Amino acid sequence: MVQVNYGLQRLSVEDIASIAINKSPVTLNNKPEYRKNIEAGSAFLDRVLADDGVVYGVTTGYGDSCTVTVPLNLVDELPHNLVKYHGCGMGRYFDASSARAIVATRLNSLAQGYSGVTWGLLKQLELILNHDIMPVIPEEGSVGASGDLTPLSYVASVLLGEREAFYKGQKRPTADIFKELNITPIRLKPKEGLAIMNGTAVMTGIACLAFKRAEYVAKLSARITSFVSWASKGNSHHFDEILFSVKPHAGQQKVATWIREDLNQHDHSRNSHRLQDRYSIRCAPHVIGCLMDALPWFRSLIENELNSANDNPIIDPKGEYILHGGHFYGGHIAMAMDTMKTSVANLADLTDRQMALLMDPKFNHGLPANLSADISDQKPINHGFKAVQIAISAWTAEALKNTMPASVFSRSTECHNQDKVSMGTIAARDCIRVLELTEQVCAASLLACVQASYIAIEHQGMDLADTHPEMFSMYQDVRSFFDPVITDRPLEGVLRETLGYIREQRWELY
């Protein structure tokens, strides 16, 4: 397990995914000069307060209330009030993995050294990550500028020993967990409530997880295309190297190479007598390639946000400046997530069309209707994957419905102070939902492909062993937990099992 180091280098989406999924340990840069820089920001703010300086959110109210002066005797209570009144989230709760991604992301922003927080606050975030005490965070309530205020208040509350946290698979009062582990809750310094809450950590942490899932779904869609082409006796020339050299989108070319090598790594003329397959097979590299070519752009936007100081105000400890701005605005993540969810939903739509071809004897080139493998006298009453194909279409339709861009639905909020907001967190949540549905489409389609391959092997004498060894190995692995459907039976259990394997990224793809 790789340890993730804060304050030493830029973090990647893989770093956040490793913390979130594998519970990789984290550590703060322990070099004296790094800690000195962190403490300089907090010390500078202390001097400003001692000189009766005016700092937004420290000696003033928040948002539209910035014209309200906070007396010095109430300054220490202000951040705690901020945490309290933002405890109004609703909807489902982010699971523990998502919460780890969110906390890990917030720590990295504060670790940039421009937020005026104390070393003790960073250490408390490090502590809850390494003890896996994760805040219970409602998904709904953020407009994505002034940052993820409401959901991040649940992160702040856990540092204070308040509200609830996930610990060892259970949701419990944070105070009880801290008492059990002898952890001391912290008190927030005047700027620290804003520093934790006024940023983009929820949408960015979720975007990191979405990136890794989208990357895997793209590869899985390519492998499913290979199975569909093989089982329906497709023309492998559609993935020819020369053909793709004249339209040089790198991601598209990569997908064509994957499918070409899957189908026949030595012989590139399989079923070339059939001039043209339908678009959902012939154009699969072009559809999947759109996502593959967008991934580097998504990574750039997500990782820049991940490695930024994105609260307000920004504290420059070296020049001793207090800079008021709008770095909490989540527009880049909103754009990435709105675009990603559209690209992913296109893969669901592609696979749905492939399954429609695979089930239909008018288009599947010799396979039985609905992939029913029954050849006995019970054949008339068995329907194979008929209902599964309907379910695939339902999941696809829902995924497509969720592609409406969230970023264009800005709402003026908070007395028209927040009059243009990003909706980045809603976009990220939408993207996760589209990924969930697309993974369901892929799970069902993978089983259908294995069913089709079984029929082609057992009933038509085809030999899957002449494909790429990894493709043949994947078929054998799926067969280890999935018995082909001969007599109709409920498939929910194996569908859920397959979905779990996809989300675990069980198969090494390309």
Which amino acid is it at 488?
A: D
Q: How far is CA 315 from CA 15, 95, 191, in A?
A: 26, 33, 10
φ/ψ (deg, to 5) at 54: -105, 120
Contacts of 259 (CB under 8 A, 6+ apart): 222, 225, 226, 229, 239, 284, 285
What 3-state DSSP class applies to 127? helix
Measure the CA angle with vertex 122, ends 116 and 127; round to 5°: 165
What is the residue-wise DSSP string for 2-39?
PPEEESSS---HHHHHHHHHH---EEE---HHHHHHHH
Q: Phi first, then psi: give them for residue 5, nearest 5 degrees.
A: -105, 125
Tell me which residue of 157, 186, 171, 136 sits closest to 85, measured CA to CA: 157
- Separation of alpha carbons 142 and 415, rounded Å: 16
Residues 6+ apart with CB under 8 A from 422: 143, 144, 145, 329, 330, 331, 333, 334, 407, 410
Q: Which of 6, 34, 56, 279 is catalytic?
A: 56
Axis crossing angle, helix 201-231 with helix 492-504, rounded to the nearest 10: 120
Q: Angle at the Cα of 96 (from 153 to 192), degrees rounded to 5?
A: 25
Strands 170-173 and 164-167: antiparallel
Q: For this structure, is 56 an active site residue?
A: yes
Q: Which two tokens stand for residue 405?
A: 């861009």
Helices 96-110 and 284-306 meet at what angle, rounded to 10?
50
Q: Looking at the annotation, which residues are catalytic? A: 56
